[in-house]
Amino acid sequence: MEYLHTMIRISDIDESLNFFCECLGMKEVNRYESEQGRFTLIFLASSSDEQKARENRTPLLELTYNWPTESEEPETYTGGRNFGHLAYRVENIYETCQRLMDMGITINRPPRDGHMAFIKSPDGISIELLQKGDSLGPAEPWKSMENEGSW
């Protein structure tokens, strides 16, 4: 068995691409639009997996946007269509969380342990950030920071 991709539904392409590409540093490697099916599929890869993803189309994150009709608003997906979470390994959990906070991203579960944090996508998908290698030593402001919202 070979892992291919994880698909999540999105309600706003621009907002989601800003979050995943600008904030998290992912790269768009492929896009498919179906006029007949009225959907757009956008495939993203982490920066460290970009070359492999372009060659093998794996591992990828698939963003699925279902086109609204002219009289509809874009669909918003809530808990019933969600799943657990996505997880990504980062070089420095503290630097990553600080950069995300500086970009206006809420850190729902701060990296108090120097190892793990949670954030959410614009559509409420939980994303776990894990420190690469050994956990970093506890440090402020992280070790005193409370959880915010759900994760």
Local structure of residue 142 (DSSP, 8 states): G
Q: For 143, phi and psi rounded to 5 degrees?
A: -70, -20
Token digits for 95? 């630097």
Rounded to whole angstroms, the Cα distance separating 26 from 19 reads 9
Q: Are strands 5-10 and 60-66 parallel, antiparallel or unpaired?
A: parallel
Q: Is 73 a catalytic residue?
A: no
Pick the catalytic residue: 28, 50, 62, 128? Answer: 128
Please identify every residue annotated as catalytic.
128
